Structure 1
Amino acid sequence: MIDQQGWYDGAMHLPSPHCDFREDPNDISLLVIHNISLPPSQFGGPYIEQFFTGKLDSSQHPFFKVIQNMRVSAHCLIDREGKVIQFVPFIERAWHAGVSSFAGRERCNDYSIGIELEGDDISAYSEAQYNALASLTRELIRQYPLITKERITGHQYIAPLRKTDPGLVFDWRKFTALLD
């Protein structure tokens, strides 16, 4: 379930400072699926959580110096084991999509929910991730009925030429079949 404050009870809650208020919380109408791994293509460890909460130590890996000044978050992260971590309540705006457009409407952060899968564009996602994503998505659709199957997309489709996630290895057919 999702409570009145926008927190999912199936997730560990780890609040991020990288968010702000939505102009219209009743306009939540898009789900955007992403991937992330820190360092790139390495899984496990605390780095994604540290990044989304503004606590990443840039001395821990050379790549972290590249992203050290970024202020980024997602509503949720689903790790390789299927554990869901929520950083931003759904009624608030997470900073996940950047410059983006869906169906001719810009600024996707204003009206979307961003879910990160721990992964990269070339590694298959785990069964546990698909199952957790489907469970969370079904709950989001119940809570926010403007999100429909047709209004679920990948970051690569709302920010083409800039983003490639969740990548060609994300199995859209498998995921949508799990929603039924």
Structure 2
Amino acid sequence: MEDKQPLSGWWSGARQVVSPNCDARPDEEVSLLLIHAISLPPGEFGGGAIEALFTNQLTVGEHPFFAEIAHLRVSAHLLIRRDGECVQFVDTDHRAWHAGRSGWWDARQLNWRTALNDFSVGIELEGDDVTPYSKAQYNALTEAVVWLMARYPQLNADRITSHAHVAPLRKTDPGPAFDWVYFRQRLSSRLE
């Protein structure tokens, strides 16, 4: 189900696989980046299950866990695999369905915001809470964020957070295995 789209919110650094799990953003600026983690089946890397989930093609019989999640209609803008390959599912100008029930204190607007999908970009890292992320993933994430920050002026380093931070009672990703200090150092050096 790969498809090249001539839309401006498609990053040239990513392979494109179009997800139907998206819709138009309301008239909101893109001003938040949420970093997630996913492995399917849980704790296993590689294979096509993540792409199948985000394109509603997950085969229930391939793993017992898939029966629990096959009904979900979810997506992310980008997935960064363990080897650094980027896969883009949703044009960043559109709303991907990645944040779920969540909330975030917006210091810029001095208010508590919900409906985070309306104004955020979601990047999934292939990983889990305990397995260290690869250098290739940090490199690809840094390049993707540099592109996003150039594209969306309201997005800056202070507006990058984790899924765990916006949904602390439901989510833990990208987990303690994600090295925020290392990522922020890499991003800072690229933005200088």
What TM-score results when the alignment is normalised by the length of structure 1? 0.96
Q: Measure, in 2, the Cα distance between the counterparts of 1:36 and 1:22.
A: 24
Structure 1 SS opposite 2:65 = helix
User: For 1:43-122, what aligned pairs fall within 5 Å after superposition?
Assistant: 43-103=45-105, 104-122=112-130
User: For 1:1-180, what aligned pairs fall within 5 Å after superposition?
Assistant: 4-24=7-27, 27-103=29-105, 104-180=112-188
Q: What is the aligned length?
A: 177
1:4 positional shift: 5.0
Q: Measure, in 2, the Cα distance between the counterparts of 1:130 and 1:157.
A: 19
Unaligned 5+ runs, structure 2: 1-5, 106-111
AA at the equivalent of 2:162:
G
Q: What whole-Å deviation, never above 9, does each CA across 1:32-69 have from its counterpart, x for those lacking one?
A: 00000000000000100011011111110000000010
Q: Measure, in 2, the Cα distance between the counterparts of 1:176 and 1:140.
A: 15
Give yes or no for contact 2:7–2:91 (8 Å, CA) kept in 1: no
CA RMSD of aligned residues (A): 0.9
Structure 2 SS opposite 1:177 = helix
What TM-score results when the alignment is normalised by the length of structure 2? 0.90
Structure 2 SS opposite 1:113 = strand
Q: What whole-Å deviation, never above 9, does each CA across 1:72-126 have from its counterpart, x for those lacking one?
A: 0000000000000000000000000001111111111000000000000110000
Q: What whole-Å deviation, never above 9, does each CA across 1:129-179 have from its counterpart, x for those lacking one?
A: 000000000110010011111100000000111100000111001001111
**Would you identify which runs of 4 or more consecutive aligned residues in structure 1 move more than 3 Å?**
none
Q: Measure, in 2, the Cα distance between the counterparts of 1:68 and 1:128.
A: 29
Structure 2 SS opposite 1:27 = coil
Q: Measure, in 2, the Cα distance between the counterparts of 1:133 and 1:47.
A: 21
